[in-house]
Structure 1
Amino acid sequence: MKREQDIEIKDELIVRYLAGEADPEEAIALHDWLALAENRSYYEKVEAAWNNAYPAKAPRHIDARRAWDKLQGKLEPTAEMWTDRSASRWKSVWFRVAASLLVVMIAGLLLYIRIHEDKIAQVNISTLHASQRVGLPDSSIAILYHNSTLLYPQYFGINKREVSLEKGEAFFKVTPDKELPFIIHTSVADIKVVGTAFNVALQPGGLEVSVKEGKVLVYTANDSSYLEAGSTAVIQAASYTIVVKDSVNTNSWGYATRQLVFKDLPMREVIADIEKAYPYSIRLSDKNINNCRLTATFDNDSAENLVNLIAETLNLSVAKNGNVFTLEGEGCP
């Protein structure tokens, strides 16, 4: 990262500028360097980290003209050329000492930010008997299922976006950013994406990852695999090996999308999917109702409307008591 004047744009120079300690030559070099979009993006990430570390300091803006005028002023001869050379030497020594200390402080700040960026102000979200929608620092969304725990930093660092699913299940809708991959850590495997929608279910025996949109990388200490939309990975906790299936049960994330699709499914499976997606229970007056099969699609319907439509389709009736629906009728042979 050099320009024609051989001033290399490093993190230390950027932070020195943000601290108001950069020389005019350095400010001009930084201004030229920021002409590239990718450099501007990197600068903004460093600036964001600086502002988080020092919120009381207002962001600085590059003023190339002011820096150039200041530089020209330095190049003009002044009466200072005739001052005591001994005093000038002492000033020069002290300046070099101060500059060295500043560089050490800047390096320490950057190292601290990079090491601790995932440990600062950790947020812990735990659910019990209801799902919860969580907005993440990059505008990504996580919808936690019942009895689930998600850990994430109050803000993401300049190099990565990382969260931890400690237990349970969550559906993620990740904001695309190719420069900052999004990583989900679990006790069985890690998932890495740049922007997509997928479901992660941490179970006692392992992990299941199913992809709704885009592409994800699932990896363990022993194995790794890319998953396309419409595929599912199953990882056994005992072996950490990944088995990929070219299919998904879209109803498994119905708790997050409230979209349910049934294609000639027995009522036993239909009821299980509905009870996962909605905070209601469904009872049957006759066990033969489990033998009935249903083909239907529901998109963000209320639970009451959904159950009534199913009852009408199968020639059943519905009784409701609190959070419990009871389907009544003869059922199917």
Structure 2
Amino acid sequence: MNREAEDQAIAWVMLTRDPSFADWDGFTAWLEASPEHARLYDALSLADAQIAEQLARPIPTVRRRWRWPVVGGAVAAALALVAVPTVMQPGFTPQTIASAPGQKLTVKLADGSRIDMNGGTRLVLDGPRRARLEQGEALFAVVHDEARPFEVASGDALIRDVGTTFNVVREPMRFTVTVSEGEIVFNPEREQVHVTAGQQIEETGDQLLVTRVEVAQVGAWRQGRLIYRGAKLARVADDLSRGLGLPVAADASVSARPFSGIIQLEGKGEDALRSAAMILGVGVRRSGDRWLLVAP
């Protein structure tokens, strides 16, 4: 299958289902350019519709229900420190693994599980079936074992596997878990939120927001593909930073602008960033030690 045509078909599926979509002439021209385009679009549209039907039940916003009372600052801080305790395995030596910005690493565990790390990521293996994501992004493909559930800690959050593949992003202002296969339980000792394939859970202040996502976009960064539907450019800039190895931010004038489509990262550095900016419809300028996405 032609990867470029497949990427284009995914983008058109995402765009044409948006009620505000208006580029029907461009879409028609793309369909008529090759019989393969129509076949790909029909196949992906059908798959998308089937996923939407399976996930049609309402997904509520989950409010946090803390199990401890509100207490003084010092005691509260101490409780926060032990909210997700590190369970050390006898005879297991913790291992810290870090990837440089723009560098991708793969970690294979003894049980057959696999962890793909994006650029600028720091991960600690606390045990044979436990990891702690301190920063960055990682895709976990877990071999299920009911007797020894795989757990991923990040900040004060805990993710427990129910036989699955899931992507985790930990940044100062963003924490998300996106599931492409199987199911995870988010904070099993607190909110106990079950997140299944095609869903994403995100911390937003004092709430946990569960939304639907395209399964195809989960972990697509491993092939240099960034897939979005209505994502703010501030988030896109963070993803570009990890993938390109450059400090990238979105200027206030464009940070809230939504973007839907696919960015195929080719190479690294300034040239790759400018190519991505063209797809985003923005400009790029240097500001101190970082790059800014700015209004054209």
TM-score, normalised to structure 2, is: 0.49
Between Structure 1 and Structure 2, which shows a larger proportion of helix residues?
1
Look at both structures and tell me which one has the larger radius of gyration over its CA atoms. 1
Higher relative contact order (CA 8 A, sep 6+): 2
TM-score, normalised to structure 1, is: 0.45
